[in-house]
Amino acid sequence: MKERLKEVVESLIFISLEPLSLEKIKGVLTEFPEEDIDQAIKELLESYAADERGIQIIQAAGGYLFSTKSEHDAWIKRLLRVERKNKLSSAAMETLSAIAYHQPITLAEISALRGVDSSQTLKTLLQKKMINIIGRKKSPGNPLIYRTSNKFLTHFGLSDIKDLPTPEEISKILEEEKNFEKEEN
């Protein structure tokens, strides 16, 4: 059965619509030793990376998920008769980034960071399940507290919240902008 393990894991990932975590896989495959499962996943990832295939296994939101390769985007859209997938608005992006870096955070805090009332954007992000309400703050008015969700991680291809752009990457962007303006003038 051990040699079959790789196939079993593959089918579990295939059937999942959301990233399948290692704990969940282990929770299902109780009859197998954990090291064997780890090994099977490792081999599976290697074989997908090596073979010439249209699909790949990606790691997002702390789990494994099948996805197509980005090179094939144009044909997939043609098949599905979809023009483009919906992108988030720049207000939504800014709000998400404020939440991602300052979570847990309240609406008032988000609005203060952006200098703009963010209640409407927040509502949209909740509807899109990019953020979750995780409770209420123990301060006057008991405002709701928000956090980014697993869907947020998947949407941006982040495996973990630690994969957010680092302070170094951010300062690099800011430097580049400065230099660009110098050249411009």
Partner 1 sequence: MENSASYQVKLEVFEGPLDLLLFLIRKKKIDIHDIPMATITKEYLEYLNKKERINLDREAEFLLIAALLIYIKSQMLLPREKPIEDEKDPRQLLVDRLLDYQKIKAASLLLKEKEEKELQKWKRASIPFQSFEKEMDSLEVSLFSLAESFFTLMKRKEKEEAQIIKGKEFSIEEKIQEILAVFEENSFLDFFDYFYEQESFEEALASFFALLELIKSRIVIALQKSHFQPIKVWLRDKAPVKRT
Q: Is 122 in the site for partner 1 (CB under 8 A)?
A: no
**Cβ 109 to partner 1 shortest distance, Å:** 11
Asked if 91 touches partner 1 (CB under 8 A), the answer is: yes
> Binding of partner 1 at residue 133 (CB under 8 A)?
no
**Side chain identity, residue 47:** S
Burial label for 23, CB within 10 Å (0-12, 13-18, 19+), is exposed
Q: Is 155 in the site for partner 1 (CB under 8 A)?
A: yes
Please say whether the beta carbons of 37 and 21 come within 8 A. Answer: no
**String of DSSP letters for 105-172:** EEHHHHHHHHTS--HHHHHHHHHTTSEEEEEE-SSTT--EEEEE-HHHHHHTT-SSGGGSPPHHHHHH
By CB under 8 A, is residue 81 in contact with partner 1? yes
Q: Per rule CB under 8 A, is residue 2 in the interface with partner 1?
A: no
Site residues (CB under 8 A) for partner 1? 17-18, 58, 65-70, 73, 76, 79-82, 84-88, 90-91, 93-94, 96-98, 100-101, 112-117, 120, 123-124, 127-129, 154-158, 164-165, 167, 169-170, 173-174, 177-178, 181, 185
